């Protein structure tokens, strides 16, 4: 089993509880989602977490650039 620099195995990476201080990038489109939550990896291959976007931002302190272009950008 191979582990990424995050300490999690492939397809199990989560931005919460990483062993390394790796910058997190969150697209601005996710910040604008309504309802205000999204799904992310939960630290195991078959585990996903639902988290309020504002709570995730408080925990992960991500960079929030516009990554995905939309017609309204």
Question: Is 28 within a domain?
Answer: yes
- Calpha distance 47→45 (Å, rounded): 6
Question: Is 38 within a domain?
Answer: yes
**CA separation (Å) from 48 to 12, 16, 38, 42, 72?**
9, 12, 10, 5, 30
Question: Is 19 within a domain?
Answer: yes
Question: Is 54 within a domain?
Answer: yes
For 5-52, how does the pLDDT look when each residue is reduced to its tens digit (9 = 90+)? 777 777 777 877 777 778 888 888 888 889 999 998 888 888 888 999
Question: Is 45 within a domain?
Answer: yes
Question: Is 69 within a domain?
Answer: no
Residues in the chain: 73
Question: Is 58 within a domain?
Answer: yes
CA angle in degrees (0–180, nearest 5) for 51-14-25:
80
- Residue 3's pLDDT is 61
| Residue 73 confidence (pLDDT) above 60 | no
- Residue 12's pLDDT is 75
Work out how many domains the chain is built from and give that number. 1
- Calpha distance 1→67 (Å, rounded): 32
Question: Is 32 within a domain?
Answer: yes
pTM of the model: 0.70
């Amino acid at each position: 089993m191979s582990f990424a620099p995050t300490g999690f195995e492939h397809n199990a990476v989560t931005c919460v509880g990483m062993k390394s201080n790796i910058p997190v990038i969150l697209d601005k489109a996710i910040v604008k989602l309504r309802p205000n939550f999204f799904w992310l990896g939960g630290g195991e291959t078959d585990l996903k977490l639902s988290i309020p976007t504002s709570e995730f931002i408080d925990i992960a302190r991500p960079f929030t650039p516009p990554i995905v272009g939309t017609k309204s950008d």
